[in-house]
Amino acid sequence: MRPLEDFLELLIRAGFSPANALRAYRLFFGFLHGHVLDELQDLIDNPDETDDLLRLGLYRLRPREFPRIRSLALELASYDGAAHLQQGVEMMITGLQFRFQPAPAPAT
């Protein structure tokens, strides 16, 4: 529970309401867990194989049933998990700043 408490404290100090800090926590860790699962599923069968369809095991997919996935073999094979994670975190931070920015102080 300590990481959750620390994360909430950090966001609340940054101006998030407690409820929005919890929402941000759930968003961030949901994304992170999903990213880890995605990384584990994209393991390459044989990294020494030169054909992307073979390296990813996509040759097992029937072309008529999975034309989109097979056509993306190059992009799937060149996936940069660290860059994707960084981009996702930056997008979340930007979105959270926009969505949950503290209300401006009332004019006196």
Q: Where are the domains of the chain?
A: 1-42+82-100, 44-78
* pLDDT by position in tens, the chain (length 108): 888 899 899 988 988 888 888 988 899 889 988 888 877 765 656 666 667 666 667 777 788 888 888 887 877 777 788 888 899 889 988 888 887 766 666 676
**Whether the model pTM is above 0.75:** no
Minimal CA–CA distance to 76: which of 48, 39, 34? 39
C-beta separation of 57 from 45 below 8 A = yes
What pLDDT does 6 receive?
92
CA distances from 73 to 24, 45, 59 (A): 34, 13, 10
